Chain A
Amino acid sequence: MRESQRPLVAAATLLGIGMGGFADGILFHQVLQLHGMLTARVPKSDVTGVEINMFWDGLFHAFTWLVTAFGLWRLFRVAQQRDVPLPTRTFVGSLALGWGLFNLVEGVIDHHVLHLHHVVERLGPSPYDWLFLASGVLLLGLGWAAIRADAVAPGTRQRLHAAVPHE
């Protein structure tokens, strides 16, 4: 990765983490309701269990929101630097990198280490947990490849070389 790519990569990775966190929360917690934040500890078998999980879901989403807000702030700062290139491939790749990081880190910690919940709670530990990790690795790999491709692509390379790291 080029030095001049780092600020954009970091900002977009934060946004990707946020997108991953909200996608998890919206899709798995709310729409499909396959699990809640603590469903392996507090089953959603009655209203109280649902409410308790909703509370912890909310805290998780609050921190996801903070990460997204921080990413937006960083991206704004990067956009203010006129000498920093903003290649689309690096931006999209970094979003994928962040999303993949989220799936990988959240999956390992919450599903496999702490056992707070599993992707399909009804099944407990299941291949879906590993599929979630695999999606993280895939997104992370695709994102990293896109960032690397921009670092070595002739047109982008010149712009990245010409840019001065802004910190």
Chain B
Amino acid sequence: MTGPSRALRVAALVAILAGASPILFARAAHACPVCNTETGAAVRAGIFDDRFVARLLATLAPFPVLLAAVAALHHGWPGGDRPRSPRPPSQRDPERRAP
């Protein structure tokens, strides 16, 4: 491809995109939940209704369970036998000594 023809194609593409942008943005705006359109209002009504809190709690429900599992991996299970501080050298497993 030669230089001028590439530039011409790029210019044509930019022109097409520029020309189409109002249509593209207009369509996007119609489906936008924060836009002042009929669809936007219906979406807002569907999200922020009297079931919002219940749905929020349901959506986030797995996270406390997952974080509790990670906390248990890090700190040990509640009531487990993980020592709270390292044992003194005299009580350590002989294998633990550095070679």
Contact = CB atoms under 8 A, between A and B. Distances in A.
A98 B62 CA distance: 13
Interface stretch (A2-10, A26-34, A123-131): A2-10
B1 interface: no
Given A13-B70, A14-B70, A38-B55, A48 B61 contact: no
Contact of A63 (B42, B55, B63, B83): B63
A106 B60 CA distance: 10
Contacts, number: 86
Contact of B33 (A38, A55, A102): A55
Q: Classify chain A's interface size.
A: 35 or more
B47 A47 contact: no
A76 interface: no
Contacts of B42: 48
A17 B70 contact: yes
B8 interface: no
Interface string A155-167: 0011001101100
Nearest 4 A/B pairs, CB to CB? A10-B74, A51-B43, A52-B46, A161-B96
Interface of B: 31, 33, 39, 42-43, 46-47, 55-56, 58-63, 65-67, 69-71, 73-76, 82-83, 86, 93, 95-96, 98-99
24 contacts: A3-B82, A3-B83, A3-B86, A6-B74, A7-B74, A9-B74, A10-B70, A10-B71, A41-B55, A47-B31, A48-B39, A48-B42, A51-B33, A51-B43, A51-B46, A55-B47, A56-B59, A60-B60, A101-B69, A105-B62, A109-B61, A157-B95, A161-B93, A161-B96
